[in-house]
Structure 1
Amino acid sequence: MNEERKQQYFAELAPNYHTLTGNTTQDIFAQFLDTYSPKLNITSTSTVHDNAAGPGTATQVLVQRDNAPKIIATDYAPGMIDTLNSIKSANTSANPAWENVTTKVCNSDDLSEYADGTFTHSISNFSLFTITNAVKSLSETHRTLKPDGVAVVLLWKRYAIQSLLAAAQDDVKGAGYAAKNAVPVNGPQYFERDVVPNQVVEAGFEQSKIETWQMDLVVDDEAQKEKWDGLYQFMTSTSVAMGSTRGWSEEEAGRWNEAVRWAMGEEKREFGGLKFEAWVSVARK
């Protein structure tokens, strides 16, 4: 995906990000924070960088916690920062922790406006795969962390949407179609466990100070119907649907929505819902 198409995609996604993603990226980060928070030691005196923040998926979790930190949220897509600013404005009166959130349009592989040792924590929540030069971005993370600072990187191991789109394509066009015509995903190399740890080491962190493990999330259509419906909407009413059905006849394209419903049902039969798997890597400077 070239730069212009990336910006168009992010601008399309930003206003309804939480709906269209089924809130999956925020929910997995919250799950991570619930289990790992004592080791992170994020307090009201911490300065956290929500790096390539999108609409602030990590920020929105952090401001709900006791002793919420100072947060600097950056993203290179203006639409994402605009959405985050709207969320901040809508919630500051009810939650004063939002007053400690600063936003900035900024590229993750060039943090030159931030001095060495600015942050106690840096969080990249399902965003590294959108960055052109991931190692450079991680190097900037290393540089801007304080001594003993912590970097957190979450990425997909299994992205349910990818599997669902492929299944729906094959349902309409026949088995094997998706293998040659699937919609590309950003950074498929990150599905492998060791890619991020290796990049983190290349960026300057020590191998012995890196932990990596898997976390899972299942979205079902009963307890989480709103999220289920949002994911369906993402696959049927955005540019993802157009990309999946490009070159199809009108009759074939007209079967797309039902094929997506069928694929979601098959996924539920296999996993109990739509199954997302994530890699979590935590590195200490």
Structure 2
Amino acid sequence: MADSYQPSSQGSNLPKYFHHLSQTYTHQTGNSTRNLFAQIAHRVAPISSDSIIHDNASGPGTATGVILSNLPPDVHPQIVATDMVPAMIDAFKSTEFPGINPNHITGIVMKSETLAFPANHFTHSITNFSVFNFADPSICLREIHRTLKPSGQAVITTWKRFGIGEVVHETQRRVRPDLPLMKFSGPDMYSADAVVDVMLRSGFARDKIDFVSMETVATGEDLDGLRAFAEGQFTESARRGWTEEEKDRWGVVLGDVLEEERERFGGVRFEGWAVVATKGDEQ
């Protein structure tokens, strides 16, 4: 399986931070992307040993892990994970996925804009909380449509409420309300309607698209991971233009905002959308 495909250019235009995040992804996302995808795993079309699944913009393989944990022990699909960040694919390759023949699972450095797979190839294409990171979602969604078999299924998840982002923004407002809020990737894609619109322009038919919302609350160690995320390198731009004294206040004010979130929701609440589409038989 590993020799069946050739990677595209390994150049990455994502921040270097994402290379670092590959080793701490589960912890610093507070398991949010895994827990949300697990809630809609039952919406994934039936998987057999004949299935060929694409974990697109896979990160360390969050969706792959959920999918495999829900399969009967005698089902061994082919799974191909792609991500443009080499460190994410390294993390994918180093992850143990129990219950699957290792020859059936492959990780490749590849951009979602230029998938080096033939047309009508995959039975399933999963893009879990990555669509908002695409420079041009339309190009990537056309590639998803092109590489799906007729009657193949695409599942795309996106944020409805990016919980830790809300916490970061509120912390900024309390310390420097006069400065712009930190920008997060692709907020225009934090909507099921926005994803559906791109899918329609990418070849999917409206009567073959459905969507569902889900939510999860990060508590305990997951909450600790989110705090590490908010205090780390990723949020440096949130403190741009601040004095050293103001930067020193970040941790204290952040703690106050996190505590208020916990009092309100029990932890940091994340909400997401899952858009599920089937490629037409005639395509």
Give the TM-score taking structure 1 as reference length.
0.88
1:60-209 superposed matches below 5 A:
60-65=65-70, 66=72, 67-87=75-95, 91=96, 95-111=99-115, 113-173=116-176, 176-177=177-178, 180-209=179-208
List alignment gaps of at least 5 residues for structure 2.
1-10
Give how far 1:55 is off: 0.9
Give how far 1:97 is off: 4.1
| Residue matched to 1:59 | 64
Kept after mapping to 2: 8 A contact 1:63/1:98: no
- In 2, the alpha carbon distance for the partners of 1:213 and 1:95 equals 29
- In 1, the alpha carbon distance for the partners of 2:146 and 2:14 equals 27
SS in 1 for 2:214: strand
Kept after mapping to 1: 8 A contact 2:188/2:194: yes
Kept after mapping to 2: 8 A contact 1:63/1:69: no
Structure with more of its chain in helix, by fraction: 1
- In 1, the alpha carbon distance for the partners of 2:101 and 2:15 equals 30
Kept after mapping to 1: 8 A contact 2:55/2:125: yes
State the identity as a percent: 37
Please report the RMSD computed on the Cα atoms of aligned residues, expressed in angstroms: 1.7
Kept after mapping to 2: 8 A contact 1:157/1:190: no
- In 1, the alpha carbon distance for the partners of 2:13 and 2:138 equals 22
Q: Deviations over 1:141-197 (max 9, x none)?
A: 111111100000000011011110111112223xx44xx421101111122331000
- In 1, the alpha carbon distance for the partners of 2:215 and 2:225 equals 19
- In 1, the alpha carbon distance for the partners of 2:264 and 2:226 equals 18
List alignment gaps of at least 5 residues for structure 1.
none
| Residue matched to 2:8 | none
- In 2, the alpha carbon distance for the partners of 1:99 and 1:160 equals 37
Paired residue for 1:243, among 237, 240, 247?
A: 237
Paired residue for 2:39, among 25, 28, 31?
A: 31
Q: Deviations over 1:58-99 (max 9, x none)?
A: 111122222242100000111110111111xxx26x544444
